[in-house]
């Protein structure tokens, strides 16, 4: 337990429920900031992060996400996840194939008390690109479209990627 009585088990369990089950409990602070490469894409056209659909909801249908590993250290919860779904919507300018895909990634959630105030993360863009190319997407077009998302979030330095 931390000094305010929040245990690692509570935080990890709540994050796991949010990812795997789509739990609706509000884990996010009103001033939440995301520093994930895909958050910028989610925010385009949305007035707030709460109204922006998630990466999984935006790009895939028949989505199932599992937490493969979750570790709590201090005020952070690190989650390694795997998404299964059918790619049905454009992503970063690449047209969908309609094929089943598996995407892996990692999120690092920063807590203050029982609320998430920040999130960092990475997608395995190489694996995503390989699956897209294997399903018929032009390799050069795929590489060009995904290059910004394959870069670290510092690529968007100075921009607020998303707020809750």
CA distance 124 to 105: 6
CB burial string 6-44: b at 16+ within 10 A, e below? beeeebbebbbebbeeeeeeebbbeebbbbbbbbbbbbe
Q: How far is CA 66 from CA 54, 56, 69, in A?
A: 15, 12, 9
% of the chain at pLDDT higher than 90: 23
Of 41-45, 124-128, 152-156, the least confident: 41-45
Task: For the chain, list the domains and their CATH numbers.
Answer: 8-150 (3.10.450.50)
Please tell me the least confidently modeled range out of 1-5, 46-50, 59-63, 108-112.
46-50
Q: How many CB atoms lie within 10 A of CB 61?
A: 13
Q: Which pLDDT belongs to residue 10? A: 87
Whether 115 has a pLDDT exceeding 50, the answer reads yes
* Contact status, residue 123 vs residue 5, Cβ threshold 8 Å: no
Question: What is the per-residue pLDDT for 53?
Answer: 54
With 0-12 / 13-18 / 19 or more C-beta atoms within 10 angstroms meaning exposed / middle / buried, residue 150 is: middle
Note the pLDDT of residue 41: 46
pLDDT at 150: 59
| Model confidence pLDDT, tens digit, residues 67-110 | 999 999 999 999 999 999 999 988 777 888 899 999 899 999 99
d(CA 31, CA 158): 17
Share of the chain above pLDDT 70, in %: 71
Asked whether the beta carbons of 142 and 132 are under 8 A apart, the reply is yes
């Amino acid at each position: 337990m931390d000094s305010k009585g929040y245990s690692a088990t509570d935080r990890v369990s709540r994050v796991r429920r949010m990812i795997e089950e789509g739990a609706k409990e509000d884990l996010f602070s009103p001033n939440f900031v995301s520093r994930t490469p895909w958050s910028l894409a989610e925010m385009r056209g949305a007035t707030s992060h709460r109204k922006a659909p998630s990466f999984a909801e935006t790009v895939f249908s028949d989505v199932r996400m599992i937490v493969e590993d979750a570790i709590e250290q201090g005020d952070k919860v690190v989650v390694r996840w795997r998404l299964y779904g059918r790619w049905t919507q454009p992503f970063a300018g690449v047209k969908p194939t309609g094929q089943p895909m598996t995407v892996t990634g990692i999120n690092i959630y920063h807590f203050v008390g029982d609320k998430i105030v920040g999130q960092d993360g990475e997608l395995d863009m190489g694996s995503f690109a390989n699956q897209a190319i294997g399903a018929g997407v032009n390799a050069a077009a795929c590489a060009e479209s995904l290059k910004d998302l394959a870069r670290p979030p510092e690529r968007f330095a100075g921009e607020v990627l998303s707020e809750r």
